[in-house]
Amino acid sequence: MQIRAAVLEEFARPLVVQDVELDGPGPGEVLVRLAACGVCHTDLYTASGADPSGYAPTVLGHEGAGVVEDVGEGVTSVEPGDHVVTLFSPQCRECIHCLSDKTNICLAIRDQQNQGYLPDGSTRLNRDGERIRHFMGTSTFAEATVMPEIALAKVDPEAPLDVVCTLACGATTGIGAALYIAKVEPGSTCVVFGAGLVGLGAVAGCRLSGAERIVAVDLSEERLEHARGQGATDTMVGGPETVEAILEMTGGFGADYTFEATGIVGVMRQAVESARMGWGLCTIAGVAGKGEVLEVVPRFLITGRRIAGASFGGAKGRDRVPELVDRHLAGDLDLDSLVTRRVALDEVNDAFEAMERQEGIRTVITY
């Protein structure tokens, strides 16, 4: 079938929206007619050429939601008409990692996915006979996509797809960092560095966990206002004195939990140093630039602080994303306010430029 898609032809060049051919689903695969896709910083990171594992040509996009249109042989968990959220982090429910509650990083299709292929080592995208690789196993900057069954979360059809698409990456990464990685305890003090989509998700996750005090740190007063709407009890404009200010707010000890959602290694260090002596946990959800290194003074670890990473917020997507959608429908999670702009696919490069200017929280492409 012919579809419109945004293709990364060359690094550091605008995406080219064009017609491409999409083959039907093979065994274990699903054809999804997309309704919406969030424009995430990871897409921009790859398009810029900064991602050392990036490749071209490819159809970018990974924060998608849509409706199942066709299924391949052996698919049993979804059927045509089902509403789904795409998962760049799949869940096969069979590998050693999926069977463990210690991680959400599924091993089933990881090698092929990282190279831009579906599990059988091929692609379903082509242009005049030239094969085009998939991005993060999803390629959702397109009117439709073919994906592995294990990389789709079936969700309540009452949920607005142009809102819950944020759970395909950014929102779940932040929410999950608090709920599934840090496991924030009721009554605790939390500090979230960065109030973009991931950071706002972390603020919401801390609130859902019953944190007593949630401090949001960002350079933008507009984003800090969004943080208050998600449950932040205190806000702070970030700067060189942030650590000292947090220590002063916490009796000199630091916060029980800190979260980093900027991808800036200097801020990561502040998040570590703001964690409480004795048991503070710093969870890092931001993606640092190519070749960058986080410097940590060992004394901070010896005196009880810990550091954890949060790929997709530790969420096993096929299980957790439907639960988060239900919490949104129940009114516990405000995802609507996180979508600050809706655009057509042809405006994808404008959305990248707005992201670089830090305008709004999340731009969503609607089809």
Q: Give catalytic residues, as residue numbers.
A: 40-42, 62-63, 92, 95, 98, 106, 110, 169, 362
Please state the φ and ψ torsions of residue 337, each to the nearest 5 degrees.
-70, -15
Q: Which two tokens stand for residue 65?
A: 């939601």
Prior bond of 57 cis (ω within 30°): yes
Please list the residues that pair with 134 across neighbouring strands.
Answer: 59
> What is the largest distance, in Å, between two alpha-carbon atoms of the chain?
65
Closest CA to 119 of 149, 95, 144, 145: 149
Side-chain-side CA neighbours of residue 195 (13 Å) = 27
Alpha-carbon distance values, 272 to 160, 227, 258, 306, 309 (Å): 37, 21, 7, 8, 12
What is the number of other CB atoms lying within 10 angstroms of the CB of residue 306? 14
Residues 291, 295, 297, CA angle at the centre, nearest 5°? Answer: 165
Please list the residues that pair with 101 across neighbouring strands.
Answer: none
CB 340 within 8 A of CB 361: yes
Rounded Cα distance between 95 and 112, Å, is 15
Closest CA to 365 of 356, 351, 20, 139: 351
Please list the residues that pair with 6 across neighbouring strands.
Answer: 17
